[in-house]
Amino acid sequence: MQATPASPDAPPVLPADTPIHPGWLRVMHWLNALAVVVMVMSGWRIYNASPLFDFVFPKEITLGGWLGGALQWHFAGMWLLFFNGLLYMAMNLATGRLWRKFFPLSARGMAADLGAALRGRLSHADPRRYNHVQRLAYLFVMADIAVLVLSGLVLWKSVQFDLLRELMGGYEAARRVHFIAMALLTAFVAIHLVMVALVPRSLIAMIRGK
């Protein structure tokens, strides 16, 4: 009997002994997690010094103690996120992991996997493969972090990055872009933690690699 050809949207078949996450990825994942926690908590303290909206964040969940301290923490987290993120992208491109893990991505595959997820029937049988929902979510967070970095540059060095500032609609608009990107990143982290709680072996894989 002739084998049925694989769907163009199907992920590549990987050998059974392929590690779920290589060592370099696990290290970068935890460094990114640390950078995000530092940046978000210190960013909330910076926001409180000049709120955009009619609320502030409780000081108990902020980092830095005061504006100057929060700025120091924020810059430390920024450089860690920036350089770790660049290395992460370089390694993903150099090893081909970016294409293997996150592509192909199609509307048909997204609709099928999203429908399965909403019915509680989305399979996690092979943690080495990302479904379409995961692929889109991870690609989104990569783009969101890039927006965070670019808008952050405008807030940090507005005069030096004047073209970028104008492309974002001005300094105040860049503040809003930065805040919205932070809120979306925080939402991603919250959903990510829920999924880890539902599929705890994903946490083990990110620690041990298998």
Q: Give the model confidence (pLDDT) of 190-202 as tens digits.
A: 999 998 998 898 9
Q: Is the pLDDT of residue 143 over 80?
A: yes
When pLDDT is cut at 50, 70 and 90, the band that residue 45 belongs to is very high
Q: What is the pLDDT of residue 5?
A: 41
**Averaged over 56-81, what is the pLDDT?**
96
Q: What is the pLDDT of residue 190?
A: 95
For the chain, give the number of residues: 210
Q: Is the pLDDT of residue 139 over 90?
A: yes
- Alpha carbon of 132 to those of 113, 121, 125, 138, 210: distances in Å? 6, 14, 15, 10, 21
Q: What is the pLDDT of residue 89?
A: 95
Phi, psi of 17 (to 5 degrees): -90, 10
Measure the CA–CA gap between 99 and 103, rounded to whole angstroms: 5
**Averaged over 132-146, what is the pLDDT?**
94
Q: Is the pLDDT of residue 14 over 60?
A: no
Q: Is the pLDDT of residue 204 over 50?
A: yes
Domain edges within the chain: 20-103, 105-116+128-209
User: What torsion, rounded to 10 degrees, do the Cα atoms 166, 167, 172, 176 define?
Assistant: -170
**Averaged over 7-20, what is the pLDDT?**
56
Percentages of the chain per state (helix, strand, coil), in multiples of 5 = 70, 0, 30
Q: Is the pLDDT of residue 128 over 90?
A: no
Identify the sign of the CA torsion 121, 123, 124, 129. Answer: negative
